[in-house]
Amino acid sequence: MAIEGNLETFNLPEILQMISSQDKTGILTVQGVNDIVAISFKVGQVVGAVALNLTVEEGLGQVLASQGMVSPGDFAEVTEEHERTGKRLLDLLTEQGLLDRSSLLEALRLQTYRLMLQLLRWDQGEFKFYSGDEVAYEEGFYAISVEELLIRSVSDLGEEQGAELPEPEGVYERVPGAAEIKVQGVDGEGPSPGDPAVWLDSEEKRLWDSLDGERSAESLAEEIDLGRYKVLFTLYRLLSEGAVRPKAVPAKDRAEERKEVPRDIPEAPPEAAPPMEAPPAIEPEEPAESLEIPMEEALEEGEEEPVARRPSLDLDWIGELVPSASAAVVAILLGALPFAASVSGLLLPFPWQSDTRQTLEANRTLARYQRIDRAARTFFLLEGHYPDALSELVDLRLLAVRDLHDPRGRVLSYSSDDVSYLLQPVEEGRPVDEVPVRESITGDFLLDPDFLEVPDREAPPLVLLD
Amino acid sequence: MSRSGGNPPAASGFLRPQGVLSLVLWILPGLLATPPPLGAQLDTAPREGVTLSRSVSQVLAHLQDDWIGWMNSYFQNQPEVAEEHLRDLLSSLDVLGFERLPELSTGATVRGVEAAFQGSPERAEFAFDAAERLDPGRPEIELGRAILARETGDRLGAVIHQLRAIQRLFGIQSYRFLWWRNLLLGILAVVLLAGAFFTVTLLARLGPPLMSAIRKNLQGRIPGPMGHLGAAVILLWPLVLPHGVAWALLYWSVLLWAVASRSQRVVLGLVWIVLGATPLLLSMQLRQVQVALSPPSRAIDAMEEDRLYGTFFSDLGVLATLLPEHPGVLELLGDVHRTLGQWEEALPFYRAVLEQDPDDRTSLISVGAYYFRKGDYGNAIRFFQRAANLEDATAAAYYNLSQAYSESYLFDEQKQALRRARELGEEQVSRWIEERSEERVVTFQGGLGAEEAIRSALVSSWSRQEDSRKVRPFLSLVLPVLGLAFGLALRRGLEGSLPRRDPFPDRGTGMRMVRTFVPGLTSAEEGRGGQGFLAALVPAALLLIAAPGRVGFDLPWGLAPNRGAIVACVFASLVIFLGIRLVRAVRG
């Protein structure tokens, strides 16, 4: 299914936010006046972008050169080899040792970001989104969230900002009565023309509810698991609408708060963020006094290493290991289940199903005994007696080896005399507490010589008198 | 002891003491297998059955003699003599009104298999041909031919014969019935096993964020490091219960439902529904299976397929004992006697049917045929007229009436009746005239027409004893509702505690291999429930196919099928399945 329109009706940030909010996977093509750009999305995040007038190779070359990661001469040589051999340029760069894989991915991420930045300048063109299950992207590419893109683009595009950019360490509080907050899906579908209210989605509403003027943006991002850039972007919107304002926090409090906040943020961790062309937008332009203390300094100023944090981090492996190990163990058990004695435990696993389970097992046992009986009778038909052991039936292919057990996997003990045999399951060498099954030839006209008590077959012929 | 005499059906016992003993022994597995067995009524119901006349007994004795004769001549390598015995066998069978001897066919097949192992393919083929004539289309013969092909190095031929055996399986009512039930059981088992695998893959991928959410909810109540332990206990406690794995899977599926994507939630919901409906479905099927495995049902199947087997008469005796007054059973017993040529013994059964239903068309025709055969055309006309006067009169009634009129020299009436018969069924009448037999009148197996009613009555007789336990399977239907309710409550409770799902988890080589060999893991990561479940279906199905007989009921094969081919196919399928996944993973 494709969604399409033009940039006069929807601006690009709106389109990007829509794709992001719906976790869409697919490709967005935007045809502008001079170029066509295709952006790949996976689960609502940007994983690649290409332009008609700028190939990946060209774009990458520009990035590598501008960042000083590969000299123009080396890059030209690699490009030549790429054209000559047809091998992927990206592979050649790493194979020839010009770049390691992580640097290459950073460069790709930067190139994608630059292309997106260029795209965000467009105000004319047509767009079309092709939804799909899968898109191609470079393995290991660290996706760019739409919120990250938009918030960085605010400063990188050099446009007039509606509000100051929020900072991760900043503490923000709600401005009472400044704006009406509405939630999509609760108060309506979304903003309508002339509606002064600030519309938030459910995740943004969680942030709004958590704004207490005490915790930093970064701390909130961690606590409500919203993602760093999502928090910053939402704050930016709220700042623009005047719904929130920054609050100064004493430096000591900030330092203490930092001790409790784990540094690793799930979405776009700092170490994964590539070097950007321009300084990151999240750098405060006019940092408040309380924000002047960098994190490292704050940690040093703390009188001791935060005690509460260490065990918390040390035991995180439990959260990863327990579910994975449990899943692995249970999967192995499940894999072995069909080969275990009975599968009725799979179909009817719960205690209150024991009656049906027993009946199922009983019927399966009955079917097994009938098969054995049939084989034993065929043996009798051929040999004139029952077999001395069930294995004789296996030798004749009348039974399979597994038929020597009952459906619960218990060995069947067998004994026979001239006209009957006895079957009983055995566990640990002892017969189980069940009535043994006895079968005989009685009632079988093919086997039982007594069944057809035909008087003397050689009787004298009937003589008709007169 | 004489078996003739024509005792009325509801009057006295037909079975000799040995016969009664044999019935008890025959149904003994049933008695043991199920708490309230079909044969539980044996001690209280009046005993009835099939009485064999002297002439029928003599023909049956001829069958025995000819079988022994065939085996002797087969061993002595005298094909002409063996052929003669075989012809006599089939001729005797024809006299009895049957067409197939399944047990002798299996016996001949086993002889063929022995010859195949001894390196005598010609003798094996000779035995298989005899088996084919004794019961055409039996799957066991193809299984025997598969063994012969394997022994002679013809692997492809072995596979083809094995496949033909499977195809032939559907030609036999009892095999077909159990096969379909096994298929149902197999499907349920595959779906539930795949559901379990699906839950496990979800646990592997969504378990960590779930535990994190649980831990956050515990914060404030349980201090820091103990929070991890508490979350682990909350996740794993069902494992210590009896049936712990089942409880754990159900519990995890509810917990995971709260954190799963929409499609994953739909799949989990469907699995709950299957889990809840399975006891009910099984409960209904098990009644039918139990009846199908019972001696009476076996006898009805044999009648329907013209098969005469060793305990056929004893099994019919069990049927008569269980449902002594059922009109379908009475007519069936009358039909058996009539087929065997025991008209005098058949008549009381038909009369008993007419006492219950004076308009039973097939019984009226059969009684008319009895009198016709005796030369009592007046009575024959009376009964044929009653059949012809019924609203749903058939061509047969008028055709028989015309024959009776003809014998009574009432030619005008004869012509009129024949014309009416032709109006009702021109094609049938022409065929009857062409195939005019000694009997001259046509009769029908009305008892087989009531086959469904008889089976239903058998199921009902079993179900009555199950009434007290009928409610329990319905209890399971509460499962999906409870699962949904708990899932919704939990989802609400965890709202705000759940970390965002990492859409691009580790793509290192190790994890890529894990994903390759654990179907459904990637889909679990990406929130695609349908694909994740389908991926889990493949290994679940292969596992259950590799272990046939573990799931369903044993088919009463007279010869054990070769499972090696099945296991090889499963193994090959598994290798191909994983190979494709590996290639796709390598290509990225």
Per the CB < 8 A criterion, the answer to whether A282 and A167 are in contact is yes
Task: Test A338 with B544 for CB contact under 8 angstroms.
Answer: yes
Closest Cβ opposite residue A363 in set B293, B314, B504 = B293
**B213 contact partners, CB below 8 Å, separation of at least 6:** B259, B494, B497, B498, B499
Q: Which B residues, 170 through 229, put their C-beta within 8 Å of a C-beta on chain A?
A: 178, 185, 188-189, 192-193, 196-197, 200-201, 203-204, 206-208, 210-212, 215, 224-225, 228-229
Residue B297 burial class via C-beta count within 10 angstroms: exposed 0-12, middle 13-18, buried 19 and up:
buried
Least-confidence region, from A264-278, B177-191, B395-409, B554-568: A264-278
Strand partners, A49: A39
Complex prediction ipTM: 0.80
Instruction: Say if residue B158's pLDDT is above 60.
Output: yes
Task: Test A370 with B554 for CB contact under 8 angstroms.
Answer: yes
Taking the Cβ of residue B563 and every Cβ of chain A, the question of whether any pair is shorter than 8 Å is answered with yes
List the structure tokens of A225.
């698991």
Contacts of B211 in chain A (CB under 8 A): 318-319, 322-323
Distance CA A343, CA A341 (A): 7
How many beta-carbon pairs below 8 A join chains A and B?
313
Strand pairing report for A198-200 and A181-183:
parallel
* pTM strictly above 0.90: no
Q: Which A residues, 217 through 256, put their C-beta within 8 Å of a C-beta on chain B?
A: 224-227
Taking alpha carbons only, the member of B325, B314, B395, B376 closest to residue B353 is B325
Per the CB < 8 A criterion, the answer to whether A249 and A290 are in contact is yes
pLDDT of residue A249: 53
Q: Which residue of A has its CA nearest to B283?
A: A356
- At residue B299, φ and ψ (nearest 5 deg) are -65, -40
**B380 or B20: whose pLDDT is higher?**
B380
Per the CB < 8 A criterion, the answer to whether A176 and A160 are in contact is no
Per the CB < 8 A criterion, the answer to whether B474 and B299 are in contact is no
Min Cα separation A431/chain B (Å) = 15
For every one of its 466 residues, what pLDDT tens digit does chain A have, with 9 covering 90 and above? 567 888 877 788 888 888 887 888 888 988 887 788 889 988 888 988 888 887 777 788 878 877 778 877 788 888 888 878 877 888 888 888 787 787 888 888 888 888 888 888 887 888 888 888 788 888 778 888 888 888 878 767 665 555 677 887 888 888 877 778 888 777 777 777 667 778 787 778 888 888 878 888 877 877 777 777 778 888 887 887 788 888 765 554 544 444 443 333 333 344 333 333 333 333 333 333 332 333 333 333 333 333 333 334 456 677 778 888 888 898 888 888 777 656 777 888 888 888 888 888 888 888 999 999 999 999 999 988 999 999 999 988 899 888 888 888 888 999 998 789 999 888 887 888 777 888 888 888 888 887 776 555 555 555 565 5
Gyration radius from chain B CA atoms: 32
Contacts of A355 in chain B (CB under 8 A): 469, 472
Task: Test B207 with A350 for CB contact under 8 angstroms.
Answer: no
Min Cα separation B442/chain A (Å) = 30
**B317-329: per-residue pLDDT in tens?**
888 888 888 888 8
Contacts of A334 in chain B (CB under 8 A): 193, 196-197, 200, 245
Contacts 24+ apart (CB under 8 A), A435-440: A435/B32, A437/A369, A437/B28, A437/B29, A437/B32, A438/B25, A438/B28, A439/A373, A439/A376, A439/B25, A439/B26, A439/B28, A440/B21, A440/B22, A440/B25
Dihedral of the CA atoms B407, B410, B411, B412 (nearest 10)? Answer: -150
**A54 contact partners, CB below 8 Å, separation of at least 6:** A35, A115
pLDDT of residue B437: 66
Single-letter amino acid code for the residue at A341: A
Distance CA B275, CA A353 (A): 11
Per the CB < 8 A criterion, the answer to whether B294 and B559 are in contact is no
Task: Test B554 with A352 for CB contact under 8 angstroms.
Answer: no
Per-residue confidence at B469, pLDDT binned at 50, 70, 90?
Answer: low
Interface mutation vs chain B, best among A209, A446, A448, most B CBs within 10 Å: A446
pLDDT of residue B12: 32
**B6-18: per-residue pLDDT in tens?**
333 333 333 333 4
Q: Which residue of B has its CA nearest to A25?
A: B526
Per-residue confidence at B434, pLDDT binned at 50, 70, 90?
Answer: confident
Strand partners, A46: A41, A144
DSSP percent split of chain A into helix, strand, coil, nearest 5:
45, 15, 40
**B125 contact partners, CB below 8 Å, separation of at least 6:** B112, B148
Closest Cβ opposite residue B278 in set A347, A394, A407 = A347
Consecutive H or E run containing B195: helix B173-218
pLDDT of residue B517: 78
Taking the Cβ of residue A461 and every Cβ of chain B, the question of whether any pair is shorter than 8 Å is answered with no
pLDDT of residue A116: 87
Contacts of A44 in chain B (CB under 8 A): 503
Q: Which residue of A has its CA nearest to B57?
A: A452
Q: DSSP characters for A93-124?
A: HHHTTSS-HHHHHHHHHHHHHHHHHHHHT--S
Q: A415-445 burial string, b = 16+ CB within 10 Å, else e?
A: ebeebebebbbeeeeeeeeeebbebbbbbbb
Taking alpha carbons only, the member of A84, A226, A203, A85 closest to residue A148 is A226
Contacts of B207 in chain A (CB under 8 A): 322-324, 326-327
pLDDT of residue B21: 40
Sign of the alpha-carbon dihedral angle for B256, B260, B266, B271: negative
Distance CA B79, CA B85 (A): 10
Contacts of A371 in chain B (CB under 8 A): 554-557
Q: Which B residues, 485 through 514, put their C-beta within 8 Å of a C-beta on chain A?
A: 496-500, 502-504, 507
Per the CB < 8 A criterion, the answer to whether A41 and A27 are in contact is yes
Taking the Cβ of residue A272 and every Cβ of chain B, the question of whether any pair is shorter than 8 Å is answered with no
- At residue B402, φ and ψ (nearest 5 deg) are -65, -35
Task: Test A452 with B314 for CB contact under 8 angstroms.
Answer: no
**B411 or A260: whose pLDDT is higher?**
B411
Interface mutation vs chain A, best among B21, B236, B521, B554, most A CBs within 10 Å: B554
Residue A212: CB atoms within 10 A of its CB come to 12
pLDDT of residue B20: 39
Residue B140 burial class via C-beta count within 10 angstroms: exposed 0-12, middle 13-18, buried 19 and up:
buried
Phi/psi zone of residue A140: left (φ > 0), alpha (ψ -120 to 50 degrees), beta? left
Contacts of A400 in chain B (CB under 8 A): 560-561, 563
**B123 or A142: whose pLDDT is higher?**
B123
Average pLDDT over residues B518-533: 83
Task: Test B500 with A267 for CB contact under 8 angstroms.
Answer: yes
Q: Which A residues, 375 through 414, put their C-beta within 8 Å of a C-beta on chain B?
A: 375, 377-378, 381-382, 394, 396-400, 402-403, 407
Strand partners, A415: A422
pLDDT of residue B18: 41
Closest Cβ opposite residue B228 in set A318, A330, A438 = A318
Distance CA A449, CA A380 (A): 12
Q: How many residues are given for chain B?
A: 588
Per the CB < 8 A criterion, the answer to whether B181 and B278 are in contact is no
Taking alpha carbons only, the member of A163, A156, A214, A208 closest to residue A182 is A208
Strand partners, A5: A127
Sign of the alpha-carbon dihedral angle for B547, B550, B552, B555: positive
Strand partners, A41: A26, A46
Distance CA A329, CA A171 (A): 46
pLDDT of residue A303: 37
Q: Which residue of B has its CA nearest to A138?
A: B588
Taking the Cβ of residue B118 and every Cβ of chain A, the question of whether any pair is shorter than 8 Å is answered with no
Distance CA A59, CA A208 (A): 40
Instruction: Say if residue B268's pLDDT is above 80.
Output: yes
pLDDT of residue B456: 86
Distance CA A377, CA A446 (A): 9
Task: Test B110 with A396 for CB contact under 8 angstroms.
Answer: yes
Distance CA A46, CA B385 (A): 88
Q: How many residues are given for chain A?
A: 466
Taking the Cβ of residue B583 and every Cβ of chain A, the question of whether any pair is shorter than 8 Å is answered with no
Task: Test B472 with A342 for CB contact under 8 angstroms.
Answer: no
Instruction: Say if residue B42's pLDDT is above 50.
Output: no
Contacts of A364 in chain B (CB under 8 A): 552-554
Task: Test B103 with A378 for CB contact under 8 angstroms.
Answer: yes
Interface mutation vs chain A, best among B27, B57, B282, most A CBs within 10 Å: B282
Closest Cβ opposite residue A446 in set B33, B245, B310 = B310
Average pLDDT over residues B138-142: 93
Q: Which residue of B has its CA nearest to A382?
A: B107
pLDDT of residue B271: 92
Q: DSSP characters for B346-410?
A: HHHHHHHHHHH-TT-HHHHHHHHHHHHHHT-HHHHHHHHHHHHTSTT--HHHHHHHHHHHHHTT-
Contacts of B552 in chain A (CB under 8 A): 364
Distance CA B317, CA B39 (A): 12
Taking the Cβ of residue B148 and every Cβ of chain A, the question of whether any pair is shorter than 8 Å is answered with no
Sign of the alpha-carbon dihedral angle for A244, A250, A251, A255: negative
Taking the Cβ of residue B230 and every Cβ of chain A, the question of whether any pair is shorter than 8 Å is answered with no
Strand partners, A420: A440
Interface mutation vs chain B, best among A374, A404, A457, most B CBs within 10 Å: A374
Closest Cβ opposite residue B25 in set A319, A366, A442 = A442
Contacts of B71 in chain A (CB under 8 A): 382
Task: Test B500 with A435 for CB contact under 8 angstroms.
Answer: no
Taking the Cβ of residue A259 and every Cβ of chain B, the question of whether any pair is shorter than 8 Å is answered with no
Taking alpha carbons only, the member of B396, B397, B379 closest to residue B387 is B397
**B166-220: per-residue pLDDT in tens?**
899 898 888 999 999 988 988 999 999 999 999 999 998 888 888 877 877 776 6
List the structure tokens of A340.
């275990």
